[in-house]
């Protein structure tokens, strides 16, 4: 089993936690940096891919973005915007000497890759794996509202009432959102699931609320104007798009990225929701290793 090294990077007067699996080798294989979702989730679920370090003899770098997990922080609503998270990614690359690397971003992490590629035009990034991300908050919301029409009528009413009143509380609303997430996001965790999926973690609720919004289909936070569909052709880094058939990242959202990014590939995982690498791990790892070696 590959060696695991943990540490903290100073950032904006706070600390960003990172976790490194494996050691850097002079074998022509660039490290793979993981960008988790949320905003406000953690790196935890990426640990199902720890075996890639041994299988591909490649170093893996994971971290908890500021505001969540072992980098938890709240009471700073001014921080929760894409510039903060892009700055943190730049700082991490510098801190860990990641002059060359691949990046794998899931959900919000995939969004982060898109804005990072376009706004920062980073050097040394060999490829992206955009896992269930999106290029447009309005498109994400549009697809969410379309799918809500397929839910039971009482749940539709609860969600629309919450949106009209801006009161995102109450049993009926909570039940409707839980059903929406069950259909398109959540992976059922059982006693046989990897420990990293059930491990207690510190969610960045403030980062999610101020960065994104109260739920997946109301992007009212600082990322509400995240709109890059018309600029996807500016991404010159080879990009592998992964999405699930019943994913928050609907096939339309995934196809929009595939159509817009010039050097891209798209794999639709037919037995997955929002976490393809958890629900179809073996297939995901096989495709991931082939992709990374193709673009080293």
107 tagged catalytic: yes
C-alpha to C-alpha distance for 53 and 123, rounded to whole angstroms? 23
Structural domains present in the chain: 4-140+187-294 (3.40.50.1820)
Q: Which of 43, 134, 273, 274 is an active site residue?
A: 274
pLDDT digits (tens, 9 = 90+) for 120-162: 999 999 999 999 999 999 999 999 999 999 999 999 999 999 9
Packed helices 153-165 and 137-148: angle between N→C axes, nearest 10 degrees:
140
DSSP-assigned letter for residue 116: I
Packed helices 171-184 and 153-165: angle between N→C axes, nearest 10 degrees:
110
One digit per residue, the tens of pLDDT, for the chain of length 296 reads: 899 999 999 999 999 999 999 999 999 999 999 999 999 999 999 999 999 999 999 999 999 999 999 999 999 999 999 999 999 999 999 999 999 999 999 999 999 999 999 999 999 999 999 999 999 999 999 999 999 999 999 999 999 999 999 999 999 999 999 999 999 998 888 888 999 999 999 999 999 999 999 999 999 999 999 999 999 999 999 999 999 999 999 999 999 999 999 999 999 999 999 999 999 999 999 999 999 999 99
At residue 53, the pLDDT reads 98
Q: Which of 107, 136, 137, 243 is an active site residue?
A: 107
Give the neighbor-by-neighbor strand order of the sheet with 4-11: 4-11, 14-21, 60-64, 32-35, 101-106, 125-131, 239-244, 264-269
Cis peptide before 39 (omega within 30 of 0): yes
Q: Which of 50, 56, 64, 247 is an active site residue?
A: 247
At residue 17, the pLDDT reads 98
Packed helices 137-148 and 171-184: angle between N→C axes, nearest 10 degrees:
110
Place of tokens 């995939």: 110
- Asked if 286 and 240 count as a contact pair (C-beta separation under 8 A), the reply is no
3-class state of residue 207 by DSSP: helix
Beta bridge partners of 239: 128, 264
Buried b (16+ CB within 10 A) or exposed e, 223-245: beebebbeebeebebbbbbbbbe
DSSP-assigned letter for residue 218: B
At residue 188, the pLDDT reads 85
Give residue 22's region: left, alpha or beta (phi > 0; psi -120 to 50): left
C-alpha to C-alpha distance for 207 and 220, rounded to whole angstroms? 12
Whose CA is closest to 33, among 90, 115, 107? 90
At residue 187, the pLDDT reads 86
3-class state of residue 50 by DSSP: coil
Does the pTM of the predicted model rise above 0.75? yes
274 tagged catalytic: yes
At residue 92, the pLDDT reads 98
């Amino acid at each position: 089993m590959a060696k695991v090294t943990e540490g903290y990077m100073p950032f904006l007067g706070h600390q960003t936690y990172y976790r490194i699996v494996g050691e850097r080798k002079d074998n022509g294989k660039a490290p793979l940096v993981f960008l988790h979702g949320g905003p406000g989730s953690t790196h935890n679920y990426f640990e199902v891919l720890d075996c890639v370090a041994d299988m591909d003899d490649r170093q893996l770098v994971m971290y908890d973005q500021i505001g969540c997990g072992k980098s938890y922080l709240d009471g700073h609503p001014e921080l929760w915007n894409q510039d903060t998270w892009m700055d943190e990614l730049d700082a991490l690359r510098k801190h860990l000497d990641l002059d060359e690397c691949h990046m794998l971003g899931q959900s919000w992490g995939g969004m982060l890759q898109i804005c990072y590629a376009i706004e920062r035009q980073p050097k040394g990034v060999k490829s992206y794996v955009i896992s269930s991300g999106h290029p447009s908050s309005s498109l994400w919301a549009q697809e969410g509202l379309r799918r809500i029409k397929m839910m039971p009528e009482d749940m539709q009413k609860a969600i629309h009432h919450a949106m009209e009143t801006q009161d995102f509380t109450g049993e009926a609303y909570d039940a409707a959102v839980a059903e929406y997430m069950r259909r398109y996001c959540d992976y059922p965790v059982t006693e046989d699931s990897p420990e990293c999926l059930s491990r207690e973690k510190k969610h960045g609720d403030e980062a999610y609320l101020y960065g994104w919004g109260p739920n997946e289909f109301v992007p009212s936070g600082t990322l509400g104007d995240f709109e890059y569909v018309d600029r996807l052709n500016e991404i010159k880094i080879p990009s592998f798009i992964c999405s699930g058939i019943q994913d928050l990242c609907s096939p339309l959202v995934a196809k929009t990225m595939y159509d817009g990014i010039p050097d891209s590939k798209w794999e639709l995982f037919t037995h997955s929701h929002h976490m393809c690498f958890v629900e179809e791990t073996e297939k995901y790892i096989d495709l991931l290793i082939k992709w990374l070696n193709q673009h080293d």
